[in-house]
């Protein structure tokens, strides 16, 4: 007797169809599972057998072979158990209907109830492309798939439900999808930004970083509020759109982090400097996403950047540049998106007071240069905005409070900044759409220098600065991009010399 069912697994974020075939013959009664790692097989055998018995199924005394194909795909986790159980039920004649259009997912408990699987979201999103019409999934995965409309989703909490429906010959109803609700900005989100007193230039740098997704390095003494500024940047970011939310949630789903539902707030990841390369970048034998993928569409905050392992930081170069990370494996490769905004913070020296107007630095020239060499030039080169943050002095505190007490929207309040960011991003979007549709442009790439629309004067200033500051080609292009963002923030169609001049200020490294 031969029976088969279908399930799937994720490799990276990509879903791959798995065929489960069972065959029963005369011979010594055994259950053999081929195509799973040994440890998983033993546990799966026990759970599947117990679950079937607890659903009142008599295990037939046969030599039973279960084969999971293709063999060369590494299958991890216990999400295939439901598919194996249903295949056995088909072989026993307990389930008679055709299941060729159905994908089964779920780990079985000994009593037959179903436990959630990791990666449910990318699997369900890919199901119709894989040629299936419906997906059977544990009820406990409901929250993360609740907005999916592309396929019929049947949610089960117990194997018995499937058996009963099948015996009575009716098909189980599909889940009614919920509408995606974009979270509105809550006023509590804005507290952080407005609670930072003074720091006008640092706040301006954050506004620019958020608008153009530019990477930012904050250098300053301990207690200058670098972490607060990074969190404030997160608060200024617009909510995720539905497409972005699904994209981010798929990554979290693979890690089993979406049991409460979709990720709707932009990620803010702040891994400690002791984090391993595997933890930060991802990969390893499991090809897992690291912090940089979990920060996709949000902020990656690296506090005390020089304390991170140097080679770990070096491996940020490619994902920073490309917006994705690829891990090679035997048969192909796995890619995760990594379009995060990097905000890094560092003390200017080991004691923290190098260049401080108040305290004297106690570090020797040797320790200072050793410390500063911990961050390589290529990484500094990839940072668009360099900012020195000082501890706020008392007079600045009072004057700033005076401003905030004024009548209308203070120009640097969170509300005002968010308004500017939204307007600037709208202008960017409209420009790139119109440039993509203008076929006669010298370059169709909205990222090209021509597309940035610099005035002749702005270009002149840029070339002068480039010569005197000896900017690298990469730094040169970064200045142009930051200038473009600054121009967008003042809703200027063209990049003027003043925008270039401001962008150049953020190019002064403090290392």
Residues in the site for Zn ion, rule: CB under 5 A?
A: 349, 351, 354, 361, 363
Got the DSSP string for 269-305?
E---TT--HHHHHEETTTTEE-HHHHTTTSEEEETTG
Q: Which is nearer to Zn ion, 160 or 372 (CB)?
A: 372
- The least CB distance from residue 293 to Zn ion, in Å, is 35
CB 114 within 8 A of CB 107: yes
Q: How does strand 216-219 pair with strand 341-346?
A: parallel
Beta bridge partners of 336: 325
Q: Which is nearer to Zn ion, 26 or 366 (CB)?
A: 366
- The least CB distance from residue 420 to Zn ion, in Å, is 37
Q: Which is nearer to Zn ion, 278 or 361 (CB)?
A: 361
Q: Which is nearer to Zn ion, 133 or 359 (CB)?
A: 359
Q: What is the rounded distance in angstroms from the CA atom of residue 348 to the CA atom of residue 386?
A: 12
- The least CB distance from residue 209 to Zn ion, in Å, is 27
Got the DSSP string for 400-434?
HHHHHTSSS--TTSHHHHHHHHHHHHHHHHHHHHH
- The least CB distance from residue 217 to Zn ion, in Å, is 18
Measured at the CA of 48, the angle between CA 158 and CA 140, to 5 degrees, comes to 35
Q: Which is nearer to Zn ion, 361 or 380 (CB)?
A: 361
- The least CB distance from residue 306 to Zn ion, in Å, is 12
Q: Which is nearer to Zn ion, 25 or 360 (CB)?
A: 360
- The least CB distance from residue 359 to Zn ion, in Å, is 9
Q: In the chain, what is the straight-line distance between the N-terminal and C-terminal CA atoms, in Å?
A: 72
Q: Which is nearer to Zn ion, 357 or 395 (CB)?
A: 357
Q: What is the rounded distance in angstroms from the CA atom of residue 121 to the CA atom of residue 72?
A: 23
- The least CB distance from residue 375 to Zn ion, in Å, is 16
- The least CB distance from residue 282 to Zn ion, in Å, is 35
Q: What is the rounded distance in angstroms from the CA atom of residue 75 to the CA atom of residue 273?
A: 32
Q: Which is nearer to Zn ion, 39 or 366 (CB)?
A: 366
Got the DSSP string for 128-158?
TTTT-SEEEEEGGGHHHHTT--SSEEEEESB
Q: Exposed, middle or buried, 67 (CB in 10 Å: 0-12/13-18/19+)?
A: middle
CA distances from 182 to 36, 104, 238, 410 (A): 40, 30, 10, 28
């Amino acid at each position: 007797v031969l029976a088969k069912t279908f399930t799937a697994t994720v490799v990276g974020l990509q879903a791959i169809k798995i065929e489960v075939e069972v065959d029963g013959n005369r011979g010594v009664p055994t259950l053999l599972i081929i195509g799973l790692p040994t440890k998983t097989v033993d546990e799966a055998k026990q759970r599947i057998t117990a679950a079937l018995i607890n659903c009142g199924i008599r295990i037939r005394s046969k030599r039973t072979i279960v084969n999971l194909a293709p063999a060369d795909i590494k299958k991890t986790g216990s999400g295939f158990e439901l598919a194996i159980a249903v295949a056995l039920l088909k072989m026993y004649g307990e389930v008679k209907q055709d299941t060729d259009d159905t994908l089964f997912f779920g780990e079985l408990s000994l009593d037959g109830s179903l436990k959630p699987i990791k990666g449910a979201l990318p699997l369900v999103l890919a199901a119709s492309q894989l040629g299936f019409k419906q997906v059977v999934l544990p009820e406990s995965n409901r929250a993360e798939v609740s907005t999916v409309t592309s396929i019929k989703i049947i949610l089960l909490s117990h194997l018995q439900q499937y058996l009963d429906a099948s015996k009575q010959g009716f098909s189980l109803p599909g889940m009614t999808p919920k509408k995606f609700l974009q979270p509105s900005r809550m006023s509590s989100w804005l507290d952080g930004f407005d609670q930072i007193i003074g720091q006008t230039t640092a706040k301006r740098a954050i506004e620019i970083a958020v608008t153009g997704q530019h990477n930012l390095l904050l250098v300053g003494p301990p207690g200058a509020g670098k972490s607060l500024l990074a969190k404030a940047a997160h608060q200024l970011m617009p909510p995720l759109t539905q497409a972005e939310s699904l994209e981010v949630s798929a990554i979290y789903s693979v890690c089993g982090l979406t049991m409460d539902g979709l990720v709707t707030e932009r990620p803010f990841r702040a891994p400690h400097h002791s984090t391993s390369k595997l933890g930060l970048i991802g990969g390893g034998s499991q090809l897992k996403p690291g912090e940089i993928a979990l920060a996709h569409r949000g902020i990656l905050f690296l506090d005390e950047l020089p304390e991170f392992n140097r080679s770990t930081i070096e491996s940020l170069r490619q994902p920073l540049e490309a917006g994705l990370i690829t891990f090679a494996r035997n048969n192909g490769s796995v890619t995760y998106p990594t379009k995060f905004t990097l905000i890094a913070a560092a003390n200017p020296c080991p004691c923290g007071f190098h260049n401080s107007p108040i305290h004297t630095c106690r570090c020797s020239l040797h320790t200072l240069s050793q410390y500063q060499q911990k961050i390589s030039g290529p990484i500094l080169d990839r940072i668009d905005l360099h900012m020195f943050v000082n501890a706020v002095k008392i007079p600045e505190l009072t004057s700033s409070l005076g401003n905030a007490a004024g009548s209308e929207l203070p120009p640097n309040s969170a509300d005002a900044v968010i308004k500017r960011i939204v307007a600037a991003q709208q202008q960017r979007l409209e420009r790139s759409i119109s440039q993509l549709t203008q076929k006669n442009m010298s370059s169709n790439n909205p990222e090209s220098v021509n597309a940035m629309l610099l005035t002749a004067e702005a270009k002149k200033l840029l070339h002068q600065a480039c010569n005197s500051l000896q900017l690298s080609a990469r730094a040169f292009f970064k200045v142009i991009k930051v200038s473009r963002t600054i121009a967008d923030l003042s809703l200027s169609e063209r990049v003027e010399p003043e925008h270039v001049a401001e962008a150049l200020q953020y190019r002064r490294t403090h290392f």
